[in-house]
Structure 1
Amino acid sequence: MLERMSFFAKLYNVDKNPEVGMWLLYGTVIIFSIIVYNLGFARKLSLLKNVVIYTVLILGCTVLTFFAIFLPVGEGLVVAIIILGIYKLRLRQAKHQKAS
């Protein structure tokens, strides 16, 4: 079973200490999902709309956490963060260069 687990599940020892490991995995998935949302999809919205969006995002992360034990959900989110971060950086550089 250990060889089939994802990197973050192994890192947090989900097999040896499932209660703490699952909470850490859940927190990791939530943090990475919020970063991906902010880098790629966030718009300026009212406070109530933001509360609804983040609540639904956190509830959705509950399901993703169970998938993240054996599937590379966390790793995919890290790749998405890297790609969206590079995109935002290049976009900012292009806007700065265009303004000059």
Structure 2
Amino acid sequence: MDVSQRLSFFAALFKVHENPTTGMWLLYITIVLLSILVFKLGFAKKLPIIKSAVIYTFLILGCTVLTFLGVFLPVAEGLVVAALILIIYKIRLHQEKKEQAKAE
């Protein structure tokens, strides 16, 4: 069985099967950036700097496990979809607030 056929999109894009070290680092960075984006768009609140540092430290550590799962499972792809949905939600929310401000 050929492993390259079972890879997720981003794992195949970063050629994890040909160059595992570079491919895994690129996949890890992608997952970390997408996780931070989804966290900021959906869940982040204003916190003191120390609490934010702790949250982002654990987020980055958790992405290590997600990276290993993301080789064969669509982890990064799911994060892209979540980020797109949250971006659309934030844009619509901003437009709705702007329209309400005009109406008042």
TM-score normalized by the length of structure 1: 0.99
AA aligned to 1:87 is Y
Aligned residue number for residue 36 of structure 1: 38
State the 1:12 CA deviation: 0.5
Give per-residue Cα distances to partners, 1:38-88, cap 9 Å, x unaligned: 000000000000000000000000000000000000000000010000000
| Structure 1: gaps of 5 or more residues | none
TM-score normalized by the length of structure 2: 0.95
State the 1:31 CA deviation: 0.2
| Structure 2: gaps of 5 or more residues | none
Q: 2-side partners of 1:19 and 1:68: how far apart? A: 15
AA aligned to 1:55 is T
AA aligned to 2:31 is V
Aligned residue number for residue 9 of structure 1: 11
